[in-house]
Amino acid sequence: MIAKHVLALSLGTLALGIAEFSMMSILLPTAGDLGVSVPEAGHFIAAYAAGVCAGVVLMTLFGRSVPLKRLLLILCAVIVLGNAVTVFAPNYGFMIASRFISGLPHGAFFGVGSIVCAELSRPGETSRDVCLMVAGMTIANLAGVPLASFLAWAVSWRAAFVIAAGAGLATLLAVKCWVPALPALPNKGFAAQFRFLGAFEPWLVLFAIGLGNGGFFAYYSYVNPVIEHVAGIPASLMWVVITLAGAGMVGGSLFCAKIAPNYSNPALAAFGQGVLFIALVALFFLAHWAPAAVFLTTLVAACAFFVSGPQQVMMIENAKEGRILAAALCQCSFNAGNALGAWLGGLPIAAGKSAEWSAMPGIFLALAGFGLLFAKWMIHTTRTRERLEGRIAALKDQVEDQKAELGRR
Mean pLDDT of the chain: 87
Average pLDDT over residues 214-239: 84
- Asked if the model's pLDDT at residue 306 lies above 70, the reply is yes
- Considering the four listed CATH numbers 3.20.20.70, 1.20.1250.20, 1.20.1260.10, 1.10.20.10, the one that applies to the domain covering 1-185 is 1.20.1250.20
pLDDT at residue 324 greater than cutoff 80:
no
Query: Which residues neighbour 306 within 8 Å (Cβ) at sequence distance 6 or greater?
Result: 252, 253, 255, 256, 268, 272, 275
Question: Do the beta carbons of residue 295 and residue 240 sit within 8 Å?
Answer: no
Residue among 229, 216, 246 at smallest CA distance from 334: 216
Backbone angles phi, psi at 202, to 5 degrees: -60, -35
Highest mean pLDDT among 21-35, 154-168, 189-203, 304-318: 154-168
pLDDT confidence of residue 250: 87
How many whole angstroms separate alpha carbon 157 and alpha carbon 210? 30
Confidence of residue 94 (pLDDT cuts 50, 70, 90): very high
Q: Which residues belong to CATH 1.20.1250.20 in the chain?
A: 1-185, 188-409
Q: Which amino acid is at 332?
A: C
C-alpha 345/C-alpha 121 separation (Å) is: 39
DSSP code string of 289-301: SHHHHHHHHHHHH
Ranges assigned E (strand) in 10-140: none
- Higher-confidence position of 405 and 5: 5
Nearest to 264, CA basis, from 380, 390, 131: 380
Check residue 197 and report its DSSP letter: G
DSSP secondary structure of 115-173? HHHHHHSPTT-HHHHHHHHHHHHHHIIIIIHHHHHHHHHHT-TTHHHHHHHHHHHHHHH
**Domain 188-409 falls under CATH 3.40.190.10:** no
Range scoring the smallest mean pLDDT among 66-70, 177-181, 214-218, 326-330: 326-330
Between CA 264 and CA 377 the distance in angstroms is 8
Closest CA to 133 of 146, 121, 147, 149: 121
**pLDDT tens digits along 231-286:** 998 877 877 887 888 889 889 988 998 898 888 999 999 999 999 999 999 999 99
Selection from 293, 400, 14 nearest residue 170 by Cα: 14
Q: Check: CB of residue 249 under 8 Å from CB of residue 304.
A: yes
Averaged pLDDT for residues 86-107:
94
Q: What is the pLDDT of residue 408?
A: 67
Mean pLDDT of 121-142: 84
For 23-61, how does the pLDDT look when each residue is reduced to its tens digit (9 = 90+)? Answer: 877 877 888 899 988 768 878 887 888 888 888 878 877
pLDDT for 409? 62
- Among candidate residues 109, 119, 144, the one with its CA nearest the CA of residue 331: 109
